[in-house]
Amino acid sequence: MTLFQIKKYLYGLKIYILFSLYFFAISTLIGYIFAQNNPVEVREVIKNISEALLLDEEMTSLQLFFFIFQNNVSKLFIILPLGIFAGIIPFLSIFTNGLILGIFAQIAIQEVSWLFLIFGIMPHGIIEIPVLIVSSAIGMRIGKVAIWKLFGSKESLIKELTKALRFFIFVLFPLLFIAAFIETYITSNILKLL
């Protein structure tokens, strides 16, 4: 894809991107408030996270990198075709991820510090979060096309899916690769220093 095609495609998604961003922010706030008001449930979350981190410690850096990359690609890639179902799955994905981020944010601030939160999320999150928002926006756009198709719209659902797939492969896929690299080799080392 050329830079012009990328800009044009993103411009066509602007309403869906704003919608995704709004609900991501709202769900992050809800997650943060939930974590503040439900310390017992938060302790369970912390326990599960600790167990997951112990599993990660057994992996080499390269294995962890491929695990993070494969996990993110598979989760975000599936959002696109599932957008056909009225965009519900992309919406749930963005909302759920926001809730999780809000819970993590509250835990990080309460248990460690603001710095831990910023350096634990920002290095890779500066790429990963926009990719999540754009993926959800694409899924919602596909959902809109699918719904209007039921009412006789001449927009091609196959064409929309093809454009989404091309954008994912040529733009989002490489960005997820970079984000996984940063999370594995940069974020983790920064957190060790803190």
pTM: 0.86
Which pLDDT value is given to residue 141?
92
Which pLDDT value is given to residue 51?
65
Q: Which of 139, 131, 39 is nearest to 87 (CA)?
A: 139
Which pLDDT value is given to residue 53?
56
Determine the Cα–Cα distance for residues 34 and 125; give it in Å rounded to an integer.
22
From first to last of its 194 residues, the chain has per-residue pLDDT tens of: 888 899 999 999 999 999 999 999 999 999 999 998 987 877 776 677 666 655 556 678 888 888 888 988 988 888 888 878 877 888 888 998 999 889 888 888 887 778 878 887 887 889 999 999 999 999 999 999 988 888 888 888 899 999 999 999 999 999 999 999 998 888 877 776 65
Which pLDDT value is given to residue 77?
84
Which pLDDT value is given to residue 194?
57
> Are the C-beta atoms of residues 103 and 36 closer than 8 Å to each other?
no
DSSP string, 136-157: HHHHHHHHHHHHHHHTT----H
Token pair belonging to 145: 């096309």
> Are the C-beta atoms of residues 68 and 75 closer than 8 Å to each other?
no
What does the DSSP 8-state code read for residue 169?
Answer: I
Structural domain boundaries in the chain: 14-193
Percent of the chain as helix, strand, coil, to the nearest 5: 90, 0, 10
> Are the C-beta atoms of residues 34 and 107 closer than 8 Å to each other?
no
Which pLDDT value is given to residue 50?
62
